[in-house]
């Protein structure tokens, strides 16, 4: 039976009335002008409108997480991250994260495995709590040095960690100075932003240390061939801040075993120059201190170091205190050791040589860019302090 004209016009009006009733109940505007205005606001200046986001801190580096939150002007998310009596990790979120972007700040430093599994459980907890997206903010990416098979029957642990995090449900990864760039390719689904600490280190160095060099030339020293690109970027950044008479050198190490240097050669001219060793991390400081002493013996006027991750394992602080290094500039991607013996070389290193330059502002700017959908490329340029 054909529909009557009355029924054909009545049905749309009923639907419209129903939609308007639902919209009023939910306080949603369905007027075309209002919807267009919202779209314009969302796309203003080519940026996505900011959405709610929260900072969740793991237990690996609470001071850095608090500083990031302070820079962003928001409190850290309420959460319990503790241990049960038998050593199992106890996690409970103290507030809702439904439809919220959450940034989890957790370096996988010592104890590496505990911090890594804690990060895994935090991501799983957020995923089950319906977070809109989860970004793992890993200032220091543990297992990064195991990035390839150097001998038979060994894992590629850097890749396996990325698989673990993606399996947990991470949507994005933010880190500082990955040990090698190919780690970004180990994440098949989650984009990776790898920031560089020299953006913060170079302005500090130029302002606080370079003036003491006078008019003497400067040599930026890479500790190995793999670090030449990093040292070159460092040199170019210093040149961009009007530091002249600067060159590049490379150390060639002959290892007896992992962490043990048998001999060292230098490629480049360092005699009569102030040397700055640039590296991504300091572990036991054996290589760094050997390089510093070798450069001094070869005629360097002074030797300083700029390194991102201060692991300071084993005798690292004692070695730094006893060697010829004058300044050691590091980031706070890993919390600094505080329990040093009074009067020891370790205390000398902490009080006289080590200078801490925070990366909290750099990470905060990256978090804001990720949250608003804007480019992070400006974070790779050095800005005067």
CB 93 within 8 A of CB 135: no
Count the neighbouring beta carbons within 10 Å of the beta carbon of residue 85: 6
Q: HSE on the CB side for 328, CA within 13 Å?
A: 30
Q: Is 54 noted as a catalytic residue in this protein?
A: no
Strands (E), the chain: 53-57, 79-83, 89-93, 101-105, 133-138, 172-176, 192-195, 218-222, 246-257, 260-267, 274-282, 302-310, 325-331, 354-357
Q: Choose, from 132, 232, 253, 348, the residue flagged as catalytic.
A: 253
Rounded Cα distance, 210 and 213, in Å:
5
Cβ within 8 Å of residue 345, ≥6 positions away: 317, 318, 319, 320, 321, 322
User: To the nearest 5 percent, what fractions of the chain are helix, strand and coil?
Assistant: 40, 25, 35
Rounded Cα distance, 45 and 374, in Å:
10
Bin 40: left if φ > 0, else alpha if -120 < ψ < 50, else beta: alpha
Q: Is 248 helix (H, G, I), strand (E, B) or coil?
A: strand
Active site amino acids: 253
């Amino acid at each position: 039976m054909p529909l009557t004209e009355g029924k054909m016009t009545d049905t749309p009006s009923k639907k419209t009335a129903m939609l308007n009733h639902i919209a009023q109940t939910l306080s949603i505007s369905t007027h075309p002008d209002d919807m267009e205005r919202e779209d314009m606001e969302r796309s203003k200046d080519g940026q996505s409108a900011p959405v709610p986001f929260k900072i969740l801190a793991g237990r690996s580096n609470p001071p850095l997480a608090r500083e990031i939150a302070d820079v962003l002007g928001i409190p850290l998310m309420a959460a319990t991250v503790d241990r049960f009596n038998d050593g199992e990790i106890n996690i409970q979120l103290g507030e809702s994260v439904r439809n919220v972007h959450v940034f989890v700040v957790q370096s996988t430093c010592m104890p590496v495995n505990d911090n890594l599994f804690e990060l895994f459980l935090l991501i799983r907890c957020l995923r089950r709590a319906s977070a809109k997206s989860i970004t793992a903010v890993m200032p220091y990416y543990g297992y990064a040095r195991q990035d390839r098979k150097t001998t038979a029957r060994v894992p590629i642990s850097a890749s396996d960690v990325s698989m673990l995090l993606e399996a947990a449900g991470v949507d994005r990864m933010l880190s500082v100075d990955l040990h090698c760039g190919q780690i970004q390719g180990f994440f098949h689904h989650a984009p990776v932003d790898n920031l560089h600490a020299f953006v913060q280190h170079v302005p500090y160095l130029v302002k606080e240390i370079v003036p003491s060099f006078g008019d003497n030339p400067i040599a930026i020293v890479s500790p190995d061939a793999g670090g030449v690109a990093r040292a070159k970027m460092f040199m170019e950044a210093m040149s961009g801040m009007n530091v002249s008479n600067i060159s590049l050198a490379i150390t060639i190490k002959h290892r007896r075993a992992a962490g043990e240097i048998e001999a060292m050669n230098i490629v480049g001219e360092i005699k009569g120059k102030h040397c700055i060793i640039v590296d991504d991390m300091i572990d036991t400081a054996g290589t760094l201190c050997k390089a510093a002493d070798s450069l001094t013996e070869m005629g360097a006027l002074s030797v300083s170091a700029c390194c991102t991750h201060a692991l300071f394992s084993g005798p690292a602080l004692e070695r730094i205190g006893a060697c010829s290094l004058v300044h050691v500039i590091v980031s706070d991607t890993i919390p600094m050791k505080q329990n040093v013996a009074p009067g020891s070389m370790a205390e000398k290193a902490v009080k006289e040589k080590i200078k801490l330059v925070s990366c909290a502002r750099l990470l905060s700017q990256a978090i804001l860019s990720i949250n608003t959908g804007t480019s992070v490329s400006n974070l790779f340029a050095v800005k005067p302090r």
